[in-house]
Amino acid sequence: MADPRLELTSRDLIFAATALRAQAVRSAEDAARPEYGSTREVFARSARGQRELAEKFQRIGEQLAPRSGR
């Protein structure tokens, strides 16, 4: 039997997507800061990866969400 504490709901995935998007914005802002110099590309790559993962979480969460009217 599955442990309910280890299950993800559509709401969990959508919340994670929102949090990842917020972090991606922060990483993109850090990438634009000149004082970070050589690490700016690392921040930019991180932001892209976070946005991609957030999009996947969002799509899966929306597919799992119960539909109203059914």
Q: What is this structure's pTM?
A: 0.74
pLDDT tens, residue by residue, 26-51: 988 988 888 888 888 888 899 999 99
d(CA 57, CA 70): 23
Q: Are 36 and 30 in contact (CB under 8 A)?
A: yes
pLDDT of 70 over the 70 cut: no
- E strand or H helix at 1, and its extent? none
